[in-house]
Amino acid sequence: MDTRQIFAALANPDTRAMYARVVLDQIPGTSTAKQSRALQNLQRVGLIDDADGAWSPTEAFRELLAEGASGTPKGYERFLEHGRVARWPSKAADKDGLIRWIMDQCLATDERVEERELNDRIERFSDDPALIRRHCVDTGYITRAPDGSEYRR
């Protein structure tokens, strides 16, 4: 269930009004084209179901609340989606924590790797491995050989 699609659907006033009618069981007998589109949009995002020819709300909100009850991501996890950076933190401490977590996943403590290998590892988490690599060198979290041939922690 994609919460962004649900919120986008409910951002439309006609779709939102139609959802309220479905929840309150006040769907008109005949629908205008606009109302039909709203019903289709609500069904597409999983908020309503057409069971036996009658529209009814699904358990979508109950499921979303249950997901939220399991815990809101904390720390660097707030900035990840499916294990990849979805957005960069604005606060320096959050950015540093996120980048350190990525490096912890990419480079063992006494391991030495070439730049190409390090970039390949970082790309599992971000589309901008150079940004992460440079930040780690600048902050001293990893070191680079003087000739730039390898990196290590």
DSSP class per residue in 15-71: HHHHHHHHHTT---SS--HHHHHHHHHHHHTTSEEEETTEEEE-SHHHHHHHHHHT-
pLDDT band of residue 7 (cuts 50, 70, 90) is confident
Distance from the first to the final alpha carbon of the chain: 40
pLDDT of residue 64: 74
As to burial, measured by CB atoms within 10 angstroms (0-12 exposed, 13-18 middle, 19+ buried), residue 27 is middle
pLDDT higher than 90, residue 129? yes
Phi first, then psi: give them for residue 8, nearest 5 degrees: -65, -40
**Between 115-122 and 129-139, two packed helices, what is the crossing angle to 10 degrees?**
110
pLDDT band of residue 16 (cuts 50, 70, 90) is very high
Checking 135-143 for CB contacts under 8 A at 24+ apart, the result is 135/95, 135/96, 135/99, 136/99, 136/100, 136/103, 139/96, 141/99, 141/100, 141/103, 142/103, 142/107
pLDDT of residue 55: 86
Q: Tell me: the pLDDT tens digits for 44-94?
A: 999 999 877 788 888 887 777 776 655 667 788 889 988 899 998 999 889
pLDDT of residue 71: 63
pLDDT of residue 29: 78
Could you tell me the pTM of the whole model? 0.52
For the residues 20-48, what does the mean pLDDT come to?
88
Domain coordinates of the chain in residue numbers? Answer: 3-68, 75-152
pLDDT higher than 80, residue 33? yes
May I ask the CATH architecture of the domain 3-68? Orthogonal Bundle (1.10)
Give the 3-state secondary structure percentages of the chain, helix then strand then coil, rounded to 5.
55, 15, 35
For the residues 93-112, what does the mean pLDDT come to?
90
Task: Say whether 108 sits in a helix, a strand or coil.
Answer: coil
